[in-house]
Amino acid sequence: MKKYDVIVVGLGAMGSASLSQLAQRGVSVLGIDRFSPPHGHGSSHGDTRITRTAIGEGVEYSELALRSHTLWRAIEAATGKQLFRRNGCLTITGADAVVMHDVDDFFANISTAAKRYNIPYQTFDTPEAIAKRYPQFAVRSGDHAILDEEAGYLFPEACVAAQLQLAERAGATLVRDTPVMAIDPAADGVEIATADGQRFAADRVVIAAGAWLPRFVAQDLARHFTVTRQVLHWFEIKSHPERFTDANCPVFIWQVPKQADIRSSIYGFPINGDPSLGVKVTHEEDGGVTDPDSVNRTVTADESARVYRTYIEPFLPDLGPRCLRTETCMYTRVDRSRFVIDNDPRSERVTFVSACSGHGFKHSAAIGEALAQQIADGRTTHVDLEPFRLSRLASYLRAG
Ligand SMILES: Cc1cc2nc3c(=O)[nH]c(=O)nc-3n(C[C@H](O)[C@H](O)[C@H](O)COP(=O)(O)OP(=O)(O)OC[C@H]3O[C@@H](n4cnc5c(N)ncnc54)[C@H](O)[C@@H]3O)c2cc1C
């Protein structure tokens, strides 16, 4: 049985970044995935992901996003692929706003982070100021907004493909379409067993299995991770397509006002390519606990019509009811949208990365680098993973 220094299980956002960074440090590394990444079965698909740097989920995430921006640019240069467009992120809030990502101070944290990390930003203190610059948003009395100017959007499939390309170029071995069934740590190393009966050995294993992660950790840890179904919608542009170009439309998050049928924020993107394909704009599903092997991937016309009536029409009147495309995806959530990145308490040889609570993509390049540094050099140089350790989890858990 061939023995590697490290095996990375799962090659989506976190795994492809970890694999690439390990390989580039001269570590002998095997990456293995149950599908053939980039693919549409996990959490890293659907054309675009918002990347923000003044982070509402907590200022401690800003270092990760800022470092990732440097890394995305470096990966673009190394592969010739476009991964990142910088066009800002506008966050709108107002009276009785829904809570974003389970974080009460989400909006306030954005300006705190921008000031702390010298991130360029603009504020819009009245609905009139927002509407003057961004007439596509039907804002209400009391609404105000902040624009993170360093933000923009990433192309997730291209990011994963580019990191895998760099990993292979640096000598990593990739095994695709091969589910890992068991990870067995022992005193002298870790063995993994695959569904087709292969066994591989390594000194260490990094588990980056996304929504499948709960299967690989102890039960008392897995119970903190909730996998939910999320649906992406692309709606037609009915009027004023010019309002949805990169120049006129930053990516946006809108903490819309709470109502009986409105329970979550909406977010969206500018036109990505052909305007006749519509724009991706959707809301965050707050229920729908699921399992990655049985998640309902059928999106009915009724479901899209309900999303349009409730979350799109009242706020983005230039978009029409015709839903041109949908995709189903999964969040792996922890209370207050925390990340959990640490060694398995049962073995120092096993490190798990994620859950990343529905906002991990933008941070994945820096997380992969930091994990690789920890493993290869024993310390990180650009970001601190300490705030995301298991020992910090207890302080974020909601009662019950
Ligand atoms: C709808 C949606 C919108 C989002 N929007 C944003 C956003 O705008 N900005 C942002 O920053 N983040 C966003 N996120 C979150 C972000 O996309 C995720 O945090 C991130 O992609 C998760 O990466 P991952 O590597 O943990 O999981 P994945 O990318 O899903 O990778 C896990 C991999 O593990 C593999 N795997 C699983 N089990 C096994 C096994 N047994 N053996 C081998 N391989 C296995 C899977 O096949 C998969 O390839 C969004 C997520 C969703 C679902």
Q: What is the domain extent for residue 359?
A: 3-47+156-224+336-396
Note whether 139 and 230 are same-domain residues. yes
What CATH number does the domain containing 344 carry?
A: 3.50.50.60
- In 3D space, the residue among 228, 260, 281 whose CA is nearest the CA of residue 102 turns out to be 228
Note whether 233 and 327 are same-domain residues. yes
Mean pLDDT over each residue of the chain, to the nearest integer: 96
Minimum-distance ligand 1 atom for the alpha carbon of 232: 1
329 lines ligand 1 (CB under 6 A): yes
280 lines ligand 1 (CB under 6 A): no
Residue 190 has pLDDT above 60, yes or no: yes
Residue 231 has pLDDT above 90, yes or no: yes
Note whether 142 and 264 are same-domain residues. yes
Percent of the chain with pLDDT over 70: 99
Note whether 326 and 240 are same-domain residues. yes
Whether 107 maps to a domain, the answer reads: yes
Minimum-distance ligand 1 atom for the alpha carbon of 42: 30
Residue 84 has pLDDT above 80, yes or no: yes
> What per-residue confidence (pLDDT) applies to 250?
98
- In 3D space, the residue among 9, 33, 28 whose CA is nearest the CA of residue 172 turns out to be 28
- The pTM of the full predicted model, rounded to 2 decimals, is 0.98
Q: How many domains does the chain have?
A: 2
Note whether 203 and 246 are same-domain residues. no
Q: Which of 332, 357, 380 lies at the terminal end of a domain, its last residue?
A: 332
92-111 pLDDT, tens digit each = 999 999 999 999 999 999 99
Note whether 257 and 341 are same-domain residues. no
Whether 292 maps to a domain, the answer reads: yes
Q: Which of 282, 306, 332 lies at the terminal end of a domain, its last residue?
A: 332
Q: Which of 332, 355, 382 lies at the terminal end of a domain, its last residue?
A: 332
Minimum-distance ligand 1 atom for the alpha carbon of 13: 25
65 lines ligand 1 (CB under 6 A): no
> What per-residue confidence (pLDDT) applies to 400?
57
236-259 pLDDT, tens digit each = 999 999 999 999 999 999 999 999
Note whether 311 and 344 are same-domain residues. no
Note whether 185 and 237 are same-domain residues. no
Minimum CA distance residue for ligand 1 atom 23: 13
Tokens of 258: 């709470």
What CATH number does the domain containing 327 carry?
A: 3.30.9.10
Note whether 17 and 125 are same-domain residues. no
Tokens of 205: 């294993």
> pLDDT band for position 2 (50/70/90)?
confident
> What per-residue confidence (pLDDT) applies to 16?
98
Note whether 314 and 233 are same-domain residues. yes
